[in-house]
Copies of this chain bind each other. A is one copy, B any other.
Amino acid sequence: MERDLIAKIGDLVGSAAKDPSVLLGIGDDCAVMASTPGRHLVVTTDTLVEAVHFDLNYFDPWHLGRKTAAVNLSDVGAMGGRPRWALLNLAVRPGLADGFWKDFSMGLMSRLSQYGVGLVGGDTVSTPDRLSVSLTLIGEVEPGKWLGRSRAEPGDLIYCSGNLGEAAAGLKWLKDCKGKRRRFKGRRMPGIRRRVSMVALRRLVARHLDPEPRMALGQALAADGSVRSAIDLSDGVATDLAHICNMSGTGAEVWAHEIPISRALKAISRILGISPLSLALTGGEDFELLWTVSEKNEAGVQRIAAKVLGYRPFRIGKMVVGDRVLLKTRRGTEDITYQGYEHRT
């Protein structure tokens, strides 16, 4: 079974994009690829475990495939890299529906082929209890042009690429309501229709099920070269900004009133009884890009980001001397360092 499942998925995924860089694909001891002369390699990997990172009560296999790709693509995007090749490790449990892996593959393929990524290998093992999916992405980046976490400086302005907290709200909604439905199909959402629109609810749920990696934005910022540091918001601003502080030897202050919170998030937060600001700062998996830029280069970077995004990015704070992430509200200052999202469905 081992090689068969990866090979089958490879057939599905590979057929979409015949990639001349793949000299030897799935089915040998190793895959062989021709990399682009003059480029550096970037590489990342992420594992999703059933009942820890996803729940099959509301994750259909197609969305699981898409998300598996997206969380890794987001890391490559946050470096400003170009993703090229993927490896897939599956731990398969019994009891999955017929067609599960076909649907998963189609979802995975839909995201990978969107960015020209070919599946070149992997491994499948059987496990009695719990489905687990790891994807490893190899990409390329121009020497000296990647967006790291370690070069932020006090005085840098902090920007993010979109609304925060929506994925966490979507997840909370799915968890609270999953008893009522067998599986999320984007059709029925019972209960709380009156106070939040169907369109808004669907968007929040999609932020959890089908996050959009900020690939084009990361690549544009890397090409420009004036962004000092960047990270994708997988664990929430409070934690991810703390990573930048930690790696750069700086502190940061975040301005509560500048955090982009959508009307939909406000509406659903009232229903769920949670603070939208707390979701926005400590909720994970928004996969928006956060970056820091000097005052001097601020306007230029803002223009580049606005061109890619179609709207102006959000300035949410400033790097400062220190080692903490501080939240500034009208009532005062609060330490939110590493108060991020722990991956638990």
Chain A interface residues toward B at CB < 8 A: 2, 23-24, 27-35, 37, 40-49, 52-53, 75-76, 78-79, 81, 85, 87, 89, 91, 120-130, 132, 134, 136, 138-139, 141, 143, 146, 148-150, 230-232, 247, 343
Contacts and interface: CB of A to CB of B under 8 A. Distances in A.
Contacts of A49: 91, 125-127
Nearest to A44: B30
Nearest to A88: B45
Contact of A123 (B24, B27, B40, B45): B45
A195 B20 CA distance: 58
Contacts of A247: 27-28
Contacts of A44: 29-31, 121
Given A41-B138, A130-B130, A138-B41, A32 B89 contact: no
Given A49-B127, A87-B45, A148-B24, A40 B34 contact: yes
B148 A89 contact: no
Contact of A85 (B43, B124, B128): B43
Contact of A47 (B42, B45, B91, B121): B91
B47 A41 contact: no
Contacts of A43: 30-31, 33, 85, 87, 120-121, 138
Nearest to A143: B34
Given A31-B42, A33-B43, A127-B130, 13 more contacts: A31-B43, A32-B79, A34-B40, A43-B85, A44-B121, A45-B122, A47-B89, A47-B134, A49-B91, A49-B126, A49-B127, A52-B126, A87-B136
A125 B141 CA distance: 28
Contacts of A27: 149, 247
Chain copies in the assembled complex: 2
13 contacts: A30-B42, A31-B42, A31-B44, A32-B40, A32-B42, A32-B141, A32-B146, A34-B143, A43-B138, A44-B121, A53-B125, A91-B132, A127-B132
A158 to B, nearest CB: 17
A44 B52 CA distance: 26
Shortest beta-carbon contacts, A-B, top 7: A30-B42, A29-B75, A29-B78, A30-B44, A30-B79, A33-B41, A89-B134
A45 B78 contact: no
Contacts of A150: 28
A76 B34 CA distance: 16
Q: Most chain-B CB neighbours within 10 Å: which of A43, A81, A120, A148?
A: A43
Nearest to A27: B247
A247 B29 CA distance: 12
A116 B95 CA distance: 42
Contact of A33 (B40, B78, B126): B40
Contacts of A28: 79, 148-150, 247
A78 B123 CA distance: 17
Contacts of A37: 37
A247 B128 CA distance: 31
